[in-house]
Amino acid sequence: MRSSIFVSIFLHVAVIVVGIYGLPAIRKPPVLQDIPMVVEIVPIAAITNLSSAPEPPKEPEKKAEVKPPKPPPAPKVKKAPAPTPPLPAPKPEVAVVPPPPEPKPEPKPKAKPKPKVKVKPKPEAKPKPKAPASLAKAKPRRKPKPPDRFASVLKNLERELKRPAPKKKEKPKKQAKKPKTRFEDMIAKSLSRRPTEYDPNEKMSLSEQHAIHNIIRQTMEPCWIIRAGSKNAQNITSVIKVTLRPDGYVSGARLTNKSRLKSDPFSLAAGESALRAVLNPSCQPYKLPVDKYAVWKYLTLTFNPRESLGR
């Protein structure tokens, strides 16, 4: 009795304190809630752009995605969370990897314009089936489509390399070393984007949202063991709060309302089953786009087997 009275008093005081001092602080978080608001607006604009827009961004993502996951598996097999924090670091390293084929232009800066020429003919080849006569027009259209950061870096690099060209032959040798560092830096800057640099307010297309949702579902569904034949199983909902690491592994997960669920063995068992699905090492990592880490770092997974239990 006493303890419950103390709790009751504490709660009342807490409510009063929140009313007096806490309200201004509570008003601030809604700013963060704007994040989903932004996401909701996007689909309206994105509906028409769905097919074309998402394609180009995926290519750079893949490069970033495919490579970073490699480091995490090794530590994961042994122990879960400990060795992972340095994970964001490997990205720039990985991002630097692509340049190796390009060192060739360094000794011969003149060769660089050539790749440009190569890039153009490729798009030309595709539009052929439509109308060979409009080849000239097709070129400018294709140029904007591959807004590769890498290509833009090459452009900038060209400009900079053109400047030193008029100088004497001796100098270019020394300068040739400088561009090396610039070249690497530029590529590293343009291709490596740390997840922490992601702006949550950045608009995400509808297809990107769907892709993330689908990846999470596809990861969870094969791991979540449900019990067919249980009474009203389709009405039981379990909510799991999950925190993910940048490499897609679970760093923390908890079942919400666990204390309340303890009074209902069936709901508790269902919740724990969902939690086991989240914690199952065989069901990690989530292969999610690293550059959207800020979006999927914190997950709220709501488990309800209504689709599996049709009744």
Partner 1 sequence: MMTSKRMIPRQNWGIVEKKPGGFMNMMNKFAGHIAVAIGLAVMIVAPAHAELNVDITRGVVKPIPIAVTDFLGESTKEKNIGRNIARVINADLVRSGLFAAINPKAFIEVEQSLGTVPKFGNWRVLKAQALSQGSVQIEGAKKLKVQFRLWDVFAETQMEGKVYSTIPENWRRIAHIIADSIYKRVTGEDGYFDTRVVYIAETGRGDRRIKRLAIMDQDGENHHFLTDGSALVLTPRFSPNRQEITYMSYHGNVPRVYIFNIDSGRQELLGDFPGMTFAPRFSPDGNKVIMSMAKDGNTEIYTMDLRTRAVQRLTKHSAIDTSPHYSPDGKRVVFNSDRSGSQQLYVMNATGGRAKRISFGRGRYATPVWSPRGDLIAFTKITGGKFFIGVMDTDGKGERLLAEGFLVESPTWAPNGRVIMFFRETPISKKGGVVSKLYSIDLTGHNEREMVTPMDASDPAWSPLIP
Using CB under 8 A as the binding rule, whether residue 263 contacts partner 1 is answered as no
The stretch among 27-35, 84-92, 147-155, 187-195 that binds partner 1 (CB under 8 A) is 27-35
Among residues 187, 206, 211, 220, the one that binds partner 1 under rule CB under 8 A: 220
First to last CA, the chain: 45
CA 162 to chain centre: 37
Residues 6+ apart with CB under 8 A from 220: 277, 278, 283, 301, 303
Structure tokens at 48: 């028409």
* C-beta separation of 279 from 301 below 8 A: no
- Would you count residue 187 as binding partner 1 (CB under 8 A)? no
Question: Of these, 18, 41, 45, 165, which contacts partner 1 (CB under 8 A)?
Answer: 18
286 in Cβ contact with 219 (< 8 Å): yes
> Counting contacts by CB under 8 A, is residue 6 touching partner 1?
yes
Rounded to the nearest whole angstrom, what is the least distance from the CB of residue 68 to partner 1 in the complex?
Answer: 20
Binding residues for partner 1 restricted to 194-213, rule: CB under 8 A = 200, 212-213
Quick one: which segment of 43-51, 93-101, 163-171, 292-300 binds partner 1 (CB under 8 A)?
292-300
What is the per-residue binding string for partner 1 in 147-176, x denoting contact by CB under 8 A?
Answer: ------------------------------
Q: Whose structure tokens read 């020394």?
A: 174
Which residues share a beta bridge with 270? none
Strand partners, 243: 252, 298
Residues within window 225-254 making contact with partner 1, judged by CB under 8 A = 225-232, 241
- Alpha carbon distances (Å) from 165 to 117, 155, 158, 168: 20, 15, 11, 8
Residues near partner 1, by CB under 8 A = 3, 6-7, 10-11, 14, 17-18, 22, 25, 29, 32-33, 35-36, 79, 200, 212-213, 216-217, 220-232, 241, 259, 264-270, 272-277, 279-282, 294-308, 311
